Amino acid sequence: MEKTFKFAGVMGWPVAHSRSPAIHNFWVREHGLQAAYGLFPVQPGALEDAVRGIRALGIAGCNVTIPHKVAIMPLLDRIDPLARRMGAVNTVVADADGTLGGYNFDGYGYIQCLRDAKPDWSAAAGPVTVLGAGGAARAVVLSLLDEGAPRIRLINRTRGKAEAMAAEFGPKVEVHDWSERHEALADVALLVNTTNQGMHGHAPLDLRLDRLPRTALVSDVIYIPLETPLLAAARERGNPTVNGLGMLLNQARRGFELWFGVQPRITDELRAALAATF
């Protein structure tokens, strides 16, 4: 019998705070689809059963978040080459034959959010400084390199993690010490915060902006709050800024299209609906 209702969701632990249901169900309503997007709270020990459940229940797919983004990879039938390079999956899509593919759209979401904010933005405009070397940093650094960034200064509190990333991603990624972060802002065209510093419940990022060119674009992958202390300080001195909401929304577009067959748009109404949930 033909399926008339499609279901997707976000798999993580904890997952109750996720904004993904608000985004996807907004689009489901907007397009009048027979579909829904829910929360899949999956404890670490239950991941294998949960993936079998996607197949057994005929679910269209899911987003994957902490702590499953890496652990889910060997449980899937196919991994997209870009997700393989990122070393993590953030979207699972069930094909018509029931097999499961793993993708990572975080890098796409990041680049697209810069383009949405500044249509003439180019990664080739100059050196980039990226703070942090976790999962978000991998997506940001890899996608900036793929877009033609000439040099990336990678700076992480735990230097060894930045060095491991640089060794993997090649000589355009230079590691600087955490203590050098203030000076490493000279001449950059783009500064990106991928640490959790400045996120709701965390301390602000400890960073002096006096060496940063006033033309440099300052971006933060954090979206709660929408304006982090870093973005507020950058805006006050005249730098253009981009918050992390566009990255979340743009990565969501790709999954939605693959699950439900409709290309959704990021509208002011969607942004307002989401802002109301913060």
User: Which residues would be at the binding site for ligand NAP (CB under 6 A)?
Assistant: 106, 109, 132-137, 156-158, 161, 194-197, 199, 221-223, 244, 247-248, 251
Q: What is the largest CA-CA distance in the chain?
A: 64
Is 161 known to be catalytic? no
Q: What are phi and psi of 60, to 5 degrees?
A: -65, -30
* Cβ count near 16 (within 10 Å): 8
Find the shortest distance in angstroms from Cβ 106 to ligand NAP: 5
Nearer to ligand NAP, 50 or 70 (CB): 70
Find the shortest distance in angstroms from Cβ 158 to ligand NAP: 3
Q: Which residue's CB comes closest to ligand NAP?
A: 134
* From 69, 118, 161, 172, active-site residue: 69
Find the shortest distance in angstroms from Cβ 193 to ligand NAP: 8
Nearer to ligand NAP, 106 or 166 (CB): 106
Euclidean distance between CA atoms 94 and 255, whole angstroms? 11
Query: Which sign does the torsion angle of CA 219, 225, 230, 235 carry?
Result: positive
Find the shortest distance in angstroms from Cβ 153 to ligand NAP: 14
The catalytic residues are 69
